[in-house]
Structure 1
Amino acid sequence: MDEDTRRAIARRAKALTLIMPTEEEDAAITKAALSDPDNPPMTDTELAKLQPARRPRGRPALEATKVATSIRFDNVVLDSFKALGPGWQTRINEILLQYLIETRQLSRFHATVQAGAKEQRKADEFLVVARDTVQAKEKVKRHLLASGREEAARERVITVDVGNAAVRDLPVIM
């Protein structure tokens, strides 16, 4: 190892060496900090309220996450979507979803919200994309709560698997 390399390594090691104050120096520094009227120490309550300054990386988590996949498109199809600018993958997803809705090919449930225990009066109706009746009912309740309809969310929800059957003109809950 030549002399210049050895010196460079020694400089890096020295720069990385932590120099700790003695107990007396530490006490003097702490005393000076505590007596500073412009910068009082934080209380335990204030320290407990501290949160990270940055949010986690990436987009916020969504209730319905998307799945990465690989699919082959004709060049003209892919180039046309990309030419429309950012969001081309989202547009493809929306068009495919709309196709499934229009051709009645979604795995979905017809959900009816019953108003009143003895009354068999419908308060609302939805098409719900879900894996089973339990998830369909949960999604309806969350949708009602999110739209500010707490009273309706407390009502009974009846779900029927409609598979590919035609149920038109109902709002779709994903």
Structure 2
Amino acid sequence: MTTRTRKSKTFEPGHGYTKEEWDAVDFPELTDEELTNMRPARDVLPPEFFKAMEEHRRSRGRPSLEHPKKQVTLRLDEDVIAKFRAGGKGWQSRMNEALRKAAGI
């Protein structure tokens, strides 16, 4: 997990730029003309950019499973749940395996 750091809004030496360079940067508000001339990113950036972004978005998270598990609501006796939970972490997977065995799968 990465830790986010707050970006400084004041000059701090040692970040690859001088105090003069820091002071020279200004971010004025956009003019009405600039706002009027703005175009959507898809009109300005190359299609490869959006293809790469889509591929990156699809590659995030866990890989897809051929047979993903389904979430269901199931009422079980308290002592049955307690027995599986007593085994510690992974009790739901052990319960799934016990059900598969009982069902002959």
* Structure with greater proportional strand content: 1
Q: Which has the higher contact order (CA 8 A, sep 6+)?
A: 1
In the superposition, the TM-score normalised over structure 2's length comes to 0.42
State the structure with more CA Rg: 1
* Structure with greater proportional helix content: 2
